């Protein structure tokens, strides 16, 4: 319990406010005066306040762990803004009314743009505010008849990307917001003293408020008898919303035709040179070296254009050489004859023909070196000596050595043409993403991180900057002409990274470090709503990189939910240790040996409102689907045939793309075990009880309705439980918690990591059969471990303090520590509970289990 809870227990109350993304008005329930001023609470800078928030008596804000999907459930919340205060503040006409000004974008609007091209600025004035999509902007200047200038973007929210071609109102600037569905909403509690005075001076800020709920508006505003209702869903339910889109592309490859080679689109940049080196002797002698062509900026061009630039740059680079004959350099694509580069017979198509003339009085040797880099991905790398011509034809000549050979490695640019998915106007290849290429039954996952238009070529041509070939462990396939690339949604990374990336990506890069995917491929949740550190540090979920992709549209729940659920984890929103209310991952199993972060005491509950335990059904057959779009892996089915015969089948399925077989078997078995005797119980909670969803706790109610399966005791003094769900009625402040109680075989099935001593090289060190001890202690430099020899635990076991590599912190090994000695967790009471807690649950293939 902390100060907040102490104050609630001492008669303090709270008022709730509502913040809506892109709306510069805060909607609290009331306008309390402050404890240190006679004034009412103030609006934060840039906002106004309208005390219109109204909660219906039947409204319940809920969140409940879902052990099958891995994503928390929660009811929709109707946020009602009362008519009278809305009307007094003029918001019925300024927020909830049809726009009187509405002008369409005529060009795409980037997230950082400070000017917008529109059809007409007529009727708009400088300093006016407008709305586009979910964003509020201030038009600082009317630049001209069709341009808004000096834009202030993302007022009271975030800047976004807009396309002029959008078929919806997201391509219109309006004077009143049109789009409410999808806006983020935040509910906060502000503490009030027992007389109802506010401790904070300003809404949404200060030391005495807490975010209690984040969500997303799910439908357009709905007028009701009492006010305008905004229906919102809790943030975790975002995970079931689909993202991504369906697009197919076809690759281009140079045909065996000189003209096709010449016209083949490439991207040249500073590194796209060949190295020209040589020596000369005769009237004078010396060496020379040049890098040609000498591009300084990234340039979308063709192989022919690049060759032509090379010709010009050779002329420049060698102009001062005494042996050089100016104006005679020829660079051609063999087979092609265009205006700037020449045709030569006698060499195979797909060859770069280079000729450099020299003065016959000199003897010249020239070498062309093509480095094996992605900057010249269209040329075969190597060192190539030219042929010196005869005295009466003094030309140095590379006739058939310089092969044009596409190598679309990472860093290269792949030309593609969109072949499918271009619906009404705005569905185009995203600037970054991933696609599956398929050939001869093999699949390859290719990722790109940038996209360029194809320059002067057909407008449908795009060049993808390849960031990874063979992603997700897929094999490389040849990218011949017309190889189909099918766009896939998702991301590659650890489970935590995939979650953060899909949640955060908005196409702007503004939401946080994981905002890396193009627009439409993520949810655009700002990083202040995501506990990135906790999600990516979860030791059970972040040991393995997976390729989490699905064909076309998919949801976070479909991609990753199975990984969470089978690991007994769930994505929820709750406060972290720093007091920040964010999306995070919690455990869902009441392990009896947990560290019990808190206890549920009789004084914390309404004793007359304790329900009876309800058994939780779970399966005796678990199917783990491991295939993904990039790999066809057989599913793992864990089943208990005897139990199925005895009790009938009860199946559950988890989708865990990329999961190894061993891990799937172990986790599937643990899921079956998890269903034995677990039960939930509902309890009315005091407002000051500080437990949150996902907390493991000791149920100390000793209520007659509870039962300890471990000891066969009724009304046990202490029972392991997980805070599995909560309902909160903001109308009357009533809280009801749902607790998942430990089942019949919990402790017997508890799994524990064990290492085996391999050698004892010194009196204080050992080597073991595990390379890492992070599963023992992810954070501590020293920790206690239990050393024992199986069968002789009575005399040969000890809890010893060791360093991260199992080296004794002090002293020497007992004499019985020898090869074969087992190392495992200490009894709970001897360890650091905070450190042991997150790793006490078996999850990862790198951990070893002893019989």
Nearest distance, CB of residue 54 and other proteins, angstroms = 14
Nearest distance, CB of residue 33 and other proteins, angstroms = 8
Tell me the CA distances in angstroms from 644 to 217, 640, 767, one per residue in order.
44, 6, 44
Nearest distance, CB of residue 618 and other proteins, angstroms = 33
Per the DSSP assignment, residues forming a β-bridge with 403 are 351
732 counts as binding other proteins under rule CB under 8 A: yes
If you ran DSSP here, which 8-state letter would residue 305 be given? Answer: H
Positions 24 through 53 that interact with other proteins (CB under 8 A): 34-38
Nearest distance, CB of residue 699 and other proteins, angstroms = 15
795 counts as binding other proteins under rule CB under 8 A: no
For 624-660, letters b (16+ CB in 10 Å) and e give bbbebbbeebeebebbbeeeeeeeeeeebbbbbbbbe
Nearest distance, CB of residue 655 and other proteins, angstroms = 41
734 counts as binding other proteins under rule CB under 8 A: yes
Could you tell me the two tokens for 529?
């709503």
How many helices (H) does the chain have, and how many strands (E)? 12, 54
773/527 Cα distance (integer angstroms): 31
Q: Which of helix, strand or coil describes residue 75?
A: coil
769 counts as binding other proteins under rule CB under 8 A: no
Could you tell me the two tokens for 820?
């074969």
601 counts as binding other proteins under rule CB under 8 A: yes
Residue closer to other proteins (CB basis): 14 or 341: 14
348 counts as binding other proteins under rule CB under 8 A: no
195 counts as binding other proteins under rule CB under 8 A: yes
723 counts as binding other proteins under rule CB under 8 A: no
How many chain residues bind other proteins (CB under 8 A)? 39
Site string for other proteins, 665-704 (x = CB under 8 A): -------------------x-xxx----------------
Could you tell me the two tokens for 337?
């004859």
688/701 Cα distance (integer angstroms): 16
626 counts as binding other proteins under rule CB under 8 A: no
Nearest distance, CB of residue 681 and other proteins, angstroms = 17
Tell me the CA distances in angstroms from 639 to 493, 525, 618, 654, one per residue in order.
30, 39, 12, 14
Nearest to 132 by CA among 176, 172, 76, 72: 172
Nearest distance, CB of residue 530 and other proteins, angstroms = 27
Residue closer to other proteins (CB basis): 191 or 300: 191
With CB under 8 A as the contact rule, the residue among 439, 603, 647, 827 that binds other proteins is 603
Residue 411: how many other CB atoms lie within 10 Å: 15
**293 upstream amide cis, omega within 30 of 0:** yes
Residue closer to other proteins (CB basis): 5 or 315: 5
Residue closer to other proteins (CB basis): 6 or 88: 6
Site string for other proteins, 99-138 (x = CB under 8 A): ----------------------------------------
Residue closer to other proteins (CB basis): 686 or 803: 686
Whether the CB-CB separation of 148 and 118 falls below 8 Å is answered with: yes
What element of type H or E holds 4? helix 3-9
Q: In what order do the strands lie in the sheet with 330-333?
A: 330-333, 351-357, 395-403, 387-388
Site string for other proteins, 196-235 (x = CB under 8 A): xx-x-------x----------------------------
Whether the CB-CB separation of 204 and 26 falls below 8 Å is answered with: yes
596 counts as binding other proteins under rule CB under 8 A: no
Residue closer to other proteins (CB basis): 541 or 736: 736
Residue closer to other proteins (CB basis): 145 or 733: 733
Count CA atoms within 13 Å of residue 59 on its CB side: 20
With CB under 8 A as the contact rule, the residue among 14, 111, 280, 384 that binds other proteins is 14
By the criterion CB under 8 A, which residues form the site for other proteins? 2-3, 6-8, 10-14, 34-38, 193-197, 199, 207, 601-608, 684, 686-688, 730, 732-735
């Amino acid at each position: 319990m902390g100060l907040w809870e102490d104050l609630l227990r001492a008669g303090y109350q709270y008022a709730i406010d509502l913040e809506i993304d892109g709306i510069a008005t805060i909607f609290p329930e009331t306008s309390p005066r402050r404890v240190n001023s006679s004034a009412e609470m103030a609006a934060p800078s840039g906002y106004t306040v309208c005390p219109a928030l109204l909660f219906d008596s039947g409204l319940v804000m809920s969140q409940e762990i879902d052990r099958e999907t891995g994503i928390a459930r929660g009811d929709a919340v109707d946020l009602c803004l009362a008519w009278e205060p809305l009307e007094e503040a003029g918001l019925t006409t300024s927020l909830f009314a049809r726009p009187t000004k509405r002008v369409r974008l005529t060009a795409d609007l980037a997230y950082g743009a400070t000017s917008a091209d529109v059809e007409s600025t007529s009727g708009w004035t400088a300093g006016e505010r407008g709305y586009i999509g979910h964003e509020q902007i201030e038009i600082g200047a009317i630049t001209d008849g069709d341009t808004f200038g000096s834009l202030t973007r993302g007022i009271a929210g975030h800047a976004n990307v807009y396309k002029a071609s959008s078929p919806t109102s997201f391509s219109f600037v309006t004077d009143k917001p049109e789009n409410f569905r999808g806006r983020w909403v935040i509910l906060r509690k502000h503490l009030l003293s027992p007389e109802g005075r506010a401790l904070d001076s300003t809404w949404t800020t200060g030391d005495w408020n807490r975010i209690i709920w984040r969500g997303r508006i799910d439908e357009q505003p709905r007028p009701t008898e009492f006010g305008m209702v905004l229906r919102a869903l809790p943030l975790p339910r975002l995970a079931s919303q689909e993202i991504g889109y369906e697009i197919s592309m076809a690759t281009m490859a140079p045909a065996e035709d000189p003209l096709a080679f010449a016209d083949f689109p490439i991207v040249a940049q500073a590194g796209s040179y060949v190295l020209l080196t040589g020596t000369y002797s005769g009237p004078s002698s010396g060496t020379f070296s040049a890098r040609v062509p000498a591009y300084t900026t990234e340039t979308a061009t063709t192989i022919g254009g690049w060759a032509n630039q090379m010709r010009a740059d050779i002329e420049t680079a060698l102009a001062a050489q005494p042996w050089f004959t100016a104006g005679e350099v020829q660079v051609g694509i063999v087979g092609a004859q265009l205006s700037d580069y020449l045709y030569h017979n006698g060499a195979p198509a797909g060859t770069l023909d280079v000729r450099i003339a020299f003065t016959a009085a000199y003897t010249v040797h020239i070498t062309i070196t093509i480095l094996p880099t992605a900057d010249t991905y269209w040329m075969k790398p190597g060192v190539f000596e030219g042929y010196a011509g005869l005295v009466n034809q003094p030309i140095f000549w590379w006739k058939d050595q310089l092969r044009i050979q596409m190598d679309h490695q990472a860093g290269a640019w792949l030309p593609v043409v969109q072949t499918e998915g271009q619906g009404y106007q705005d569905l185009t290849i995203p600037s970054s993403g991933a696609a599956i290429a398929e050939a001869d039954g093999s699949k390859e996952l290719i990722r790109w991180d940038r996209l360029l238009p194809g320059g002067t070529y057909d407008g449908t041509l795009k060049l993808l900057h390849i960031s990874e070939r063979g992603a997700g462990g897929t094999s490389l396939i040849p990218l011949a002409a017309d190889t189909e690339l099918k766009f896939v949604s998702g991301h590659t990374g650890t489970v935590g990274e995939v979650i953060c990336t899909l949640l955060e990506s908005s196409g702007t890069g503004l939401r946080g470090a994981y905002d890396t995917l193009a627009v439409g491929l993520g949810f655009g949740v700002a990083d202040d709503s995501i506990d990135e550190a906790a999600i990516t540090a979860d030791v059970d979920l972040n040991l393995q990189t997976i390729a989490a992709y699905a064909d076309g549209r998919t949801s976070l729940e479909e991609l990753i939910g199975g990984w969470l659920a089978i690991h007994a984890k769930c994505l929820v929103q709750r406060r972290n240790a720093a007091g920040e209310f964010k999306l995070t991952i919690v455990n869902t199993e009441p392990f009896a040996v947990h560290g019990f972060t808190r206890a549920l005491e009789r004084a914390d509950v309404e004793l007359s409102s304790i329900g009876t335990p309800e058994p939780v059904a779970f399966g005796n057959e678990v199917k783990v689907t491991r295939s993904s779009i990039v790999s066809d892996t057989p599913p793992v089915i864990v089943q208990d045939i005897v139990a199925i015969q005895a009790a009938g089948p009860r199946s559950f399925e988890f989708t865990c793309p990329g999961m190894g077989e061993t891990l799937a078997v172990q986790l599937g078995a643990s899921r079956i075990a998890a269903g034995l005797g677990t039960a939930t119980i509902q309890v009315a909670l005091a407002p000051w009880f500080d437990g949150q969803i996902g907390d493991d706790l000791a149920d100390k109610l000793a209520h007659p309705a509870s039962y300890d399966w471990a000891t066969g005791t009724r009304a046990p003094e202490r029972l392991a439980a997980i805070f599995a769900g909560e309902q909160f009625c903001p109308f009357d402040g009533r809280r009801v918690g749902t607790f998942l109680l430990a089942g019949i075989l919990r402790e017997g099935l508890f799994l524990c990591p064990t290492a085996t001593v391999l050698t004892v090289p010194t009196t204080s060190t050992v080597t073991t059969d595990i390379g890492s001890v992070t599963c023992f202690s992810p954070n501590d430099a020293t920790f206690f471990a239990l050393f024992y020899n199986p069968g002789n635990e009575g005399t040969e076991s000890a809890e010893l303090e060791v360093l991260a590599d199992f080296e004794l912190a002090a002293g020497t090994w007992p004499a019985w520590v020898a090869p074969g000695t087992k190392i495992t967790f200490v009894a709970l009471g001897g360890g650091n509970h905070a450190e042991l807690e997150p790793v006490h649950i078996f999850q990862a293939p790198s951990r070893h289990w002893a019989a």
